Amino acid sequence: MSTGDERNIDYEAGTASVVDMHDSVRREKALQPSGSESLGLFPLLLCGLVLVAGGGFLFKNANGFSDSTYIYANYVPDPRPVSDDGEDVEEDIAWIDKWMNEGKKVYGNCAACHQPTGTGAPGMFPPLVGSEWVDGGTARLGAILLHGINGPFSVAGQSYNQLMPAWGTLSDKKVAQVITYIRREFGTLPEGGDGVVTAEMIAAAREKFQGQSGPYTESQLLAIPADEQLSGAKVDLQTGDPL
Ligand code: HEC
């Protein structure tokens, strides 16, 4: 039978048991090769103390790690760079270019269907290039963007029967930017027209078409005159200021 006494069996009468003998060996740590002995407690504590004291010193004298430490009291930044003719460089980027860049970003919402090139997908999504809707007045475009379209719907002689989602949840500015983008990028502008739609015009469109619930049908959109424009001031393409 196995009992707790087993480990104390004397193998050689009168001598310590094998297990007891190994106890002492297990208790002692193996000797490390010279040079890799572990650090004593004292140097470790000393390091800890230096870190804590050093960190505290830095915190106290470096203004709580604030970046203002690195700005001198009388620091005056360099003037903004100016172009050759002395104009502010920022102003050199025309308002219309910024407006178009923003419009291109918003168009990221549309590209999956109408394609990055605006050419659409045959039978599925209509093109914006060569579309009488894009080339026409801004009133129809505002109505389409704010409320969407429920097919069947005909564009450039082809019929489509899907759903054009509504984008009325976007801000006036974003809707204005994306319409400006598709007109200038994919459309054919009327003579003398700049294709620009402003946030003010979209605000007007929201009010004008507020009675619409759900997406438009083709016949409802056709009832809006093809050349009707949203009301709002034209703007200076360089500055974006109303003319
Ligand atoms: C889910 C796919 C889809 C997305 C996304 C989409 N459209 Fe459309 N769009 C359509 C479909 C489909 C039609 C055609 C009407 C129909 O079948 O309901 C259409 C019609 C149009 C039309 C009128 C027809 C034409 O081709 O000129 C315009 C303008 C238009 N979309 C602009 C946009 C803009 C701008 C965006 C992004 C803000 C956008 N669409 C996002 C699917 C989409």
Residue count of the chain: 243
**Could you identify the atom of ligand 1 that is nearest to the CA of residue 131?**
27
**Pocket flag, ligand 1, residue 160 (CB < 6 Å):** yes
* pLDDT for 26: 76
**Pocket flag, ligand 1, residue 216 (CB < 6 Å):** no
* pLDDT for 10: 55
Q: How many CB atoms lie within 10 A of CB 243?
A: 8
**Pocket flag, ligand 1, residue 146 (CB < 6 Å):** no
Q: Give backbone dihedrals phi and psi of 179, rounded to 5 degrees, phi first.
A: -70, -40
**Pocket flag, ligand 1, residue 109 (CB < 6 Å):** yes
Distance of alpha carbon 242 from alpha carbon 12, whole angstroms = 110
* pLDDT for 162: 95
* pLDDT for 9: 55
* pLDDT for 80: 75
pLDDT (tens place) for every residue of the chain, 243 residues total: 445 555 555 555 566 677 877 877 777 777 778 877 777 889 999 999 999 999 999 888 877 677 666 667 777 777 777 767 666 666 578 999 999 999 999 999 999 999 999 999 999 999 999 999 999 999 999 999 999 999 999 999 999 999 999 999 999 999 999 999 999 999 999 888 999 999 999 999 999 999 999 999 999 999 999 999 999 999 999 999 998
Residue nearest to atom 34 of ligand 1 (CA): 110
Are 209 and 143 spatial neighbours (Cβ–Cβ below 8 Å)? yes
Distance of alpha carbon 205 from alpha carbon 56, whole angstroms = 61
**Pocket flag, ligand 1, residue 143 (CB < 6 Å):** no
* pLDDT for 163: 96
Residue nearest to atom 36 of ligand 1 (CA): 110
Ligand 1 centre and the CA of 144: distance in Å? 8
Ligand 1 centre and the CA of 158: distance in Å? 14
**Pocket flag, ligand 1, residue 114 (CB < 6 Å):** yes
* Alpha-carbon dihedral angle through residues 88, 94, 98, 99, given to the nearest 10 degrees: 140
**Pocket flag, ligand 1, residue 165 (CB < 6 Å):** yes
CB within 8 Å of 142: residues ≥ 6 apart: 175, 179, 197, 201, 202, 205, 208, 209, 230
Distance of alpha carbon 169 from alpha carbon 163, whole angstroms = 17
Distance of alpha carbon 217 from alpha carbon 148, whole angstroms = 9
* pLDDT for 38: 77
